[in-house]
Chain A
């Protein structure tokens, strides 16, 4: 398979994730869509690493996985904290920080 296919698939997945972030309101689903975007980036990294024939891109993909795991832990901690303070789990109603 040409590398082009993988890269175009990766950009399609990234666009789907971005659309989800724009449409959905639940913070959990927004985090899931963020995962989609990070994974699309990972797919592009691995595809380009195969294109160059160099494994450095795969190490980069693993570091992206670490960052994604950290983001999930902190994000889910925030969601649990919001839930335990009886605040609405809706990003449009949580607007106290709005300027």
Chain B
């Protein structure tokens, strides 16, 4: 590691950014010209806390270096290879999502900077504060405890990013079972099966119906504040997610999920983001996720050194 003793803070910042750019170029193959086009651009978005700005790849960066390190360390994650030759297509029925899929976003899923239309995410003051506090916690190398840290489900939006999951579907309900955190997202298509209104859980209470060939899922009843992205785009327990899911074929098969967030605690208006999930029949076997073995160890810190997030009522 290069010693930084004696360098001024602005120069350190410049050197750090240069190192970040170089590492990103080496690891990802992105050209300097492409990276340069996003570096040092003035962040014309809403005011940010404590030195947070927009860095390379359009993601937040800060003075602590943790956010950049996060991208550096994760910048060379391999993409799944092509489908094997014997991979079958999904069901021809546009209303059948049965099978195995893979959350193909990566850096895009780290942080939601813009909504589906390219507008800034409409944080209100409380939402901006929560988001930026989460970013600063990462940036200062003292991240907050998330559900995953303590071996709880993070809920379906977070627990199907960059992991495999399988969908089992019947006329009365849909079960999505993820590789991550043993998340089991159950969607009642038959209202008689739905859990009682007011039920709270890590994954929420979901009821779905068909709108043509699009599945519309409404989820409420979260027991704690959610992470909609790795870096913590928040949803309060009072929030509601409406997900419009359809199966699409454009050169490949994928699920398109348009998520509309309604949460007056953290946002000034409803807003939407889009993610896609690739058809991967070669990812049908879920790995064992036995995090309780560590998180439940009575002899060790169950929070693994992460700090608790303030439960402030903003």
A binds B: no
Interface residues of B (CB under 8 A from A): none
